[in-house]
Amino acid sequence: MLAEGGVDHVRIEPLARRLRVTKGGFYWHFKDRAELLAALLTHWRDGRMAVIARHVTPEADEDAEAVLRRLLGRYLDHPNPRGAAIEMAVRDWARHDPGAAAAVAEVDRARLAHVVPLFESLGAGPCEAEARARLFYAYVFGQNLLSPTSDAAEAARQQDRIAAILIGRDAA
């Protein structure tokens, strides 16, 4: 429901119908809608933080550049439209709700905290590493908002060029 229509569409009665439970069954788990929304934010935040920690863990013989390129590939070569819709819905929610804003800020800090050291290990100073990490995430999330390129080979070349710029290496 969140992905489909934002936080305003997360309502107890439609959710209970979708889950095929009674309203009473719903209230067995959550005191009210506010408690449901708080649990939803906690689940989103914890899930995002666990995913990024798992994704930045180097695989065998993988250096920082390889991890960054793998991350780009994971998000850009295998888009998750539902995940992107949830991300956008939570970020929209955060524009007018302090609790959602705090959850988004915490996830953003965790994402940057995991990626900044990768850029530092490639020789970037702290300020440059943070700037590159922010550009990295802006590209990952922003690319999902653009219309896809119909030419797969050109899209791959473009992604390689952008990765080279972000990572600070020559394009392959």
Rounded to 5 degrees, φ, ψ at 96 are -130, 10
Which residue segment(s) compose the domain that 87 sits in? Answer: 33-167
Domain count, the chain: 1
- Domain assignment present for 130: yes
Check which CATH number belongs to the domain holding 96 and give it: 1.10.357.10
- Domain assignment present for 84: yes
Question: Which residue in this structure is represented by tokens 């719903």?
Answer: 26
Of all residues in the chain, the percent with pLDDT exceeding 70 is 97
The pLDDT of residue 170: 61
The pLDDT of residue 7: 87
The pLDDT of residue 12: 82
The pLDDT of residue 154: 86
The pLDDT of residue 68: 94
Residues of the chain short of pLDDT 50, as ranges, are: 172
The pLDDT of residue 113: 95
The pLDDT of residue 122: 94
